[in-house]
């Protein structure tokens, strides 16, 4: 995503169209655009050198389900991530509404504990959501602010490492399990691509796009057709919500093949927030946070 300059142009073009539609608050769209633009800069300035002693799983084990490198073992460029963290924190401090107050609280917590940002990055790598939920009690009006900051600022560095790691894996392979072959995390959204509508999953941590089987639940491996349902709403053309009645999970699927629109999963996830609310109201769950950490 960040290795292609076209994604940035596409983000800005689609954001302008979205702003006219009144689906999402303008402040949220502006924040997303600011964050995405600065993620690009951070991606280009992050070091993505793989440490010599990095232990990767053998490819045959990855094909049978072991991640190439568990997310908790991912190296990352701390300085570049820290810089982006403070750029985003400053932006939030200059915004209005509850998130401004949360940003000010986070800044004063960093003054008390200068290691807080490093700890937040490590907890994010370890997928320790408990840490962020407890911290969120200090910023009750926007409890996911620290998670948003940590995730958004470390992601470009992780993406640079992922681009290198991906070279070790077979390309155009159809994976037979739902988790990401690179890092082992769960996907946050899926898309149908190409003439035959190949199903691709998009990793919630390293953003790898990997092909997966069409009629299998990526969360519980259910294969019985009768267990799957989906719904669409006319306000969100090109999106559908796939649900699995066995594990009660749902996943949004992007299918822009009939539309004059290019998909960009990180923005597609934000654009279709209403569908998450609808799916939850129907009693279905999503095992991952949004692509933005909230």
* Segment interacting with Zn ion (CB under 5 A) among 2-10, 104-112, 117-125, 201-209: 201-209
Cβ closer to Zn ion: 14 or 199?
199
Cβ closer to Zn ion: 99 or 158?
158
Query: Checking DSSP bridges between strand 174-175 and strand 187-193, what pairing results, if any?
Result: unpaired
| Interface with Zn ion, residue 203, by CB under 5 A | yes
Cβ closer to Zn ion: 113 or 231?
231
* CB of 161 vs Zn ion, minimal distance in Å: 11
Residues in the chain: 294
Binding mask 12-51 for Zn ion (x = CB under 5 A): ----------------------------------------
Nearest to 150 by CA among 190, 185, 179, 119: 119
Residue of 208, 263, 288, 290 interacting with Zn ion (CB under 5 A): 208
Cβ closer to Zn ion: 44 or 248?
248
What is the rounded distance in angstroms from the CA atom of residue 29 to the CA atom of residue 129? Answer: 25
The DSSP 8-state label assigned to residue 249 in this structure reads B
Q: CB-based contacts of 159: which residues, under 8 Å, 6+ apart?
A: 1, 2, 3, 43, 206, 207
* CB of 252 vs Zn ion, minimal distance in Å: 15
Nearest to 185 by CA among 216, 164, 162: 162
Task: Name the phi and psi angles at 278, rounded to 5.
Answer: -65, -45
Residue of 247, 273, 278, 289 interacting with Zn ion (CB under 5 A): 247
> What residues from 109 to 128 belong to the interface with Zn ion (CB under 5 A)?
none
Residue of 1, 69, 165, 180 interacting with Zn ion (CB under 5 A): 180
What is the rounded distance in angstroms from the CA atom of residue 134 to the CA atom of residue 7? Answer: 35
* Beta strands, E only, the chain: 174-175, 187-193, 198-203, 209-212, 228-231, 239-244, 250-254
265 burial via Cβ count (<10 Å: 0-12, 13-18, 19+): buried
| Interface with Zn ion, residue 182, by CB under 5 A | yes
* CB of 17 vs Zn ion, minimal distance in Å: 29
| Interface with Zn ion, residue 161, by CB under 5 A | no
Binding mask 216-245 for Zn ion (x = CB under 5 A): -x-xx-x---------------------x-
> Contact 286/249 with Cβ under 8 angstroms?
yes
* Segment interacting with Zn ion (CB under 5 A) among 9-17, 110-118, 132-140, 206-214: 206-214
Produce one character per residue of 221-237: b if its CB has 16 or more CB atoms within 10 Å, e if not. ebeeeeebeeeeeeebe
Cβ closer to Zn ion: 84 or 183?
183
Cβ closer to Zn ion: 103 or 182?
182
Q: By rule CB under 5 A, what count of residues binds Zn ion?
A: 15
> Contact 237/261 with Cβ under 8 angstroms?
no
3-state secondary structure of 212: strand
* CB of 269 vs Zn ion, minimal distance in Å: 15
Q: Which residues would be at the binding site for Zn ion (CB under 5 A)? A: 180, 182-183, 185, 203, 205-206, 208, 217, 219-220, 222, 244, 246-247
């Amino acid at each position: 995503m960040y290795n292609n300059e076209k994604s940035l142009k596409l983000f800005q073009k689609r954001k302008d169209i979205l702003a006219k539609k009144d689906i999402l608050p303008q402040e949220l769209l502006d924040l997303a655009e600011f964050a995405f633009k600065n993620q690009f800069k951070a991606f280009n300035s992050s070091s993505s050198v793989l440490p010599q002693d990095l232990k990767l799983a053998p490819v045959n084990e990855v094909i049978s389900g072991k991640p190439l490198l568990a997310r908790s073992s991912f190296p990352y460029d701390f300085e570049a991530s820290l810089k982006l963290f403070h750029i985003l924190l400053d932006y939030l401090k200059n915004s209005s509404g509850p998130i401004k107050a949360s940003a000010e609280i986070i800044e004063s917590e960093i003054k008390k504990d200068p290691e807080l940002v490093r700890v937040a990055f490590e907890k994010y790598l370890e997928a320790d959501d408990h840490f962020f939920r407890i911290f969120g009690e200090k910023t009750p009006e926007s409890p996911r602010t620290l998670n948003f900051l940590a995730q958004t600022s470390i992601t470009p560095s992780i993406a640079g490492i992922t681009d290198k790691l991906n070279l070790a894996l077979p390309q155009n392979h159809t994976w037979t399990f739902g988790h990401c072959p690179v890092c082992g995390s769960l996907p946050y959204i899926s898309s149908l691509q190409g003439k035959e509508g190949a199903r691709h999953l998009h990793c919630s941590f390293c953003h790898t796009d990997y092909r997966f089987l069409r009629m299998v639940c990526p969360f519980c491996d259910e294969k019985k057709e009768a267990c799957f349902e989906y719904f669409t709403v006319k306000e969100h053309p090109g999106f559908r919500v796939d649900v699995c009645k066995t594990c009660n999970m749902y996943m949004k699927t992007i299918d822009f093949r009939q539309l004059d629109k290019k998909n960009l999963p990180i923005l597609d996830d934000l654009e279709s927030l209403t569908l998450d609310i609808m799916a939850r109201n129907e009693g279905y769950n999503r095992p991952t946070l949004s692509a933005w950490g909230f």
